[in-house]
Structure 1
Amino acid sequence: MALKGTMLDYSLLQNLPTAKDLPDSDDTPVDNELQNYIPNLLKSILAMIWSDRFDWYFGVDMGIYYDPDKSAIVPDGFLSVGVPRIIDENLRLSYVLWEEKRVPILVLEVVSQTRRGEYTAKKELYQNLGIQYYVIYNPQRKRKPRLEVYSLENEQYVLLGNESPIWLEEIGLGIGKEVGTYEQITREWLYWYDENGERFLTPEERSRQAESKAQQAESKAQQAESKAQQAETKAQQAESKAQQAETKAERYARRLRELGIDPDSV
């Protein structure tokens, strides 16, 4: 196989297996929940900010087949751009490079207490496959950066700045870490950011924001209704006073007439 930027050349190989022919799981359990939570959070945010796009796919704990004679590599998460978001009603069983014809643009690995080659073998493999961005998140790190993002330059990975968020030019998004709440769990999470460094909201946050706006709108409507009722009450009170004044004037005029006095002459 020869590298062609973000494409791999399988033209010389014959009788390549399809996704249906290949195992859709390596049966290796994740080491901790974060390895599912973090990529799923990124995927759910992306589904909102790219809701009008159908040329991308974000896989979570899915096998990437890059060589018909080798087992799949299973990153915690990966993003491909320029591929159909949905291939059919059964969705993807795995990500087969000779079928997709495009290498993922980003791969994510969440490091557990037991390292599995995230800084060595996996890094080298992703580099050789031509994956543009390699993101490693290690929540256990104390002295070194917990989040590292590598970019492929001249077929070699170069570490991008340690300042979070880190801008990914080829994707048009930034990725970074900060403390937040997701599924009622408050801790440090990975998020997507815009070009100004503003974090994109999670589905939960958007829902709460929409609910808050709805409550504010309802409160304003209630206040407006209350003011309208107060205005109506004042109008009714003014009308009542006018009627009382008119009644009093009529009674006064009638009394004057009874006394033989023309009210208009008074």
Structure 2
Amino acid sequence: MYDFQARQKPLPTMYDLPSEEVGDAGLPDEFHRFQGELLTETCRSPFYPGDRCFTAIDLNLYYDPRHPQRYKRPDWFVALDVGVAQRQEALRWSYLIWQEGVPPFLVVELLSPGTEGEDLGRSVRGIDQPPGKWEVYERRLRVPYYGVYDRYENQFRLFRLQGMRYEALVLVQGRYWLEELGLGLGVWDGEYEGIQGRWLRWYDQAGHWIPLRAELLAQEQQARQAAQVQLAQEQHDRQLAQVQLAQEQERAAAVAAQYQVLLDKLRAQGINPDEL
């Protein structure tokens, strides 16, 4: 682990370093954006409240204080016990390991044509070139978990740091439970933002997918509609009961009137009904 305090020269802050790659064509493709948002929206750990669980999509990760210009840009990552900005001016431009002091807990890379070698550590790099993503996550930052998802082949691979190396984990039906986070990560076949497909998504201990905001709103709407239907049924039942009670009272009044007529007839004939 680097001794950040040993350096005499002050290290740059996130405001001093670029937040975009030189020559970058722009934002990532649509799938990267949607998939990152889905991971962020469903990453709700029971162990780490939202203000201590930082997630990032396509954010520069500066990893080496000896070479502060070097960075990687994970498609998605989560860091635990890291503060989340509460004010707009405090939002991060980038993630600096010497400033944060905490490496990501999990990094997810989404394979694109031409990136498989870089993401899986198979590309050959020169001696004077910066290390690839795999080496940075595995050896420099020692990120505990590293996931790679290939949507073209519908293949999700997850690696865990064992000693000094990543080892592939055995996934059951494309899922794996991360005990430290209290969440599981797996491949979900469903519709997100109106797009049908297979996506990475978090699930809970019972195996249920963590609900999306839209799903929660739909559930609340269904609950309100069900409550309204039940209220209407209860009002109908009360009105019916009132009608039935009124009818019974009318029948009782009619019987009482008939009985009184009979009594009056008997008395008119000189018969005392009380003596019968």
Q: CA RMSD in A?
A: 2.2
Cα distance in structure 2, aligned partners of 1:148 and 1:179:
17
After superposition, where does 1:145-224 map in structure 2 within 5 Å? 146-163=155-172, 164-224=174-234
Q: Give the structure 1 partner of residue 235 of structure 2.
A: 225
Give the stretch that moved more between structures: 237-246 or 254-263: 254-263
Q: Give the structure 2 partner of residue 102 of structure 1.
A: 102
Amino acid at match of 2:70: S
Matched, 1:89 2:64: no
- What is the TM-score with the length of structure 2 in the denominator? 0.84
- What is the TM-score with the length of structure 1 in the denominator? 0.87
Cα distance in structure 2, aligned partners of 1:33 and 1:93:
21
Matched, 1:34 2:40: no
**What is the number of residues matched between the two proteins?**
257
Give the stretch that moved more between structures: 114-123 or 12-21: 114-123
**Change in 2 beyond 3 A, CA 1:205/1:98:** same
CA contact (8 A) 2:185 2:200 kept: yes
Cα distance in structure 2, aligned partners of 1:31 and 1:86:
23
Amino acid at match of 1:200: I
Cα distance in structure 1, aligned partners of 2:45 and 2:38:
11
After superposition, where does 1:43-122 map in structure 2 within 5 Å? 43-47=40-44, 52-67=49-64, 68-86=67-85, 88-90=87-89, 91-115=91-115, 117-120=118-121, 121-122=132-133
Amino acid at match of 2:51: F
CA contact (8 A) 2:175 2:186 kept: yes
Cα distance in structure 1, aligned partners of 2:214 and 2:45:
11
Secondary structure, aligned partner of 2:157: strand
Matched, 1:23 2:18: yes
Shift of 1:231: 1.6
Cα distance in structure 2, aligned partners of 1:156 and 1:70:
25
Q: Give the structure 2 partner of residue 140 of structure 1.
A: 152
**Change in 2 beyond 3 A, CA 1:12/1:132:** same
Secondary structure, aligned partner of 2:11: coil
Structure 1, unmatched stretches of 5+, are: none
Secondary structure, aligned partner of 1:181: strand
Cα distance in structure 1, aligned partners of 2:198 and 2:226:
30
Shift of 1:79: 0.2
Question: Percent identity among equivalent residues?
Answer: 28
